[in-house]
Structure 1
């Protein structure tokens, strides 16, 4: 019985590729985690600092010296007197902290993140601080109160676009925290602000000038304006006096509308039938248009003749102008015989 091979050459090769892929992925993930978490593997010393206000400071925030991260915040707790807070932080052992070092909480960005800034004051007889020592409250500074700061600039911010407000706010924070170096950047944004206000000032001046002209025209028409106001007041007063009659008429109009709607609904079918018959009549008249024209043309002549018979009063006089008869003889022939034939004078009146 032959032995069964558990792995052939291709399967073995794929297995090693999978192992290498897992190792590389794990290393890359770990490196990314170290980079994002600012994890350091060097030896560090632990210190404490007492602050009157540590609002916004969280565990893991940076500890920086001259803007370079040298450690992180490890914890925050209330002091024994309950009037201050103790911040525990670590610093790389390579960095020497003096007993005169000052600690300041600063804004990392405008969304509220903070960091702890250390300023070494190696002057005079300052000695190195031992691990575990505490920076007293006299050498610490809480974060800048942005609410109070920005409230002072609130009237100016109304004249800026949101983008300019964000930029100027960041520059203000940097300057007041001592990180701006100079006021050059702040002044440049302030100059932009001044230009913006100047442009709007021109618009406001133009608006005031136009409003002044309007008011002058209104002043020239003072009598007409007063008369208009008085007339309008009287009109409103009249409406107020007659409000009951107006409201009553509105009720009557509403009732009339209802009755009219009912009447139209009842007469709708007969009215439509009349319209159809009228159209039918007009079609028939259009067919005999020539005969109608002839009848209308002869109608005046006939009316004149009829009127001639009533010239002696409110009655009609009829005269026999002729009478003819037909007699049939024994042979079946018809003979026309004039029975009566008066004079022609009265028969020719027409």
Structure 2
């Protein structure tokens, strides 16, 4: 029983391993997209091949005739750089020296491919007469005859405000039109423009909002332009504040902690004395209402105070002494009264 069990386990392991290897080979063949039959290698020079990967297809008039074999970095004679792309093309076809190459979008997910085009109709069966100016195996398609990849991501990001105002199906249709147009399918340009006109027509109902927004932005920019020195000072101050906070010095943290304690104490004091503060403010309001009509009399009092002081000074000079005892000093304004020295008198006043 043990031998049979081990034998069955080995059989299961072998079957599982075989299935895994076959699946891996299938995936690799699917991703690599090999070219059937014998191939001829050519080189295409691009200023940019962003998004292009080894294994991407090479097409002519929408028909796949090869694949990208390798991509490498190379310098130009003028100090700039380029990308040299080796492509494999089925040997049943040939290219002329007039062939052009472009990196285009394969789908909306960002897949790229190399599209070949020959103005002279260069690709033909080799069994027929050889076309003139044939591009030999290993020949180079120079920079002057290639078109780099278009960064549609940056282009579509510029239309983000428009996409936010459209329905998802409208966004998909418009994006597909962008991809097809900038991938070289010129016949879709008219369709793209028609789609843009139709989709943006629904936004005309909000023309007043957009106009107001533009006006507000213009006013804001003019204000910022006139306040440029103050804006620079504010940014400089914020920069210094940020530098001080991030410098690692704990003084800022201590200041916040101490300020928090002071505010807590002040809040507690105000809370405990809220009734007294209310009475004080009420009495102060009443006093000011009484004081205001008698401003002239109060001004006269303040004017005569220096004369009163001079008289006391003359009386007490040259050895003369005057003993003044203020037994009571009360300020009374209508029904409001304030005794400065209190109601307890000294022995002299008793």
Q: TM-score range by the shorter chain?
A: 0.3 to 0.5
Structure ID, larger Rg: 1
Question: Which is bigger in relative contact order (C-alpha 8 A, separation at least 6)?
Answer: 2
TM, length-normalised to structure 1: 0.48
Task: Compute the TM-score of the two structures, normalised by the length of structure 2.
Answer: 0.48
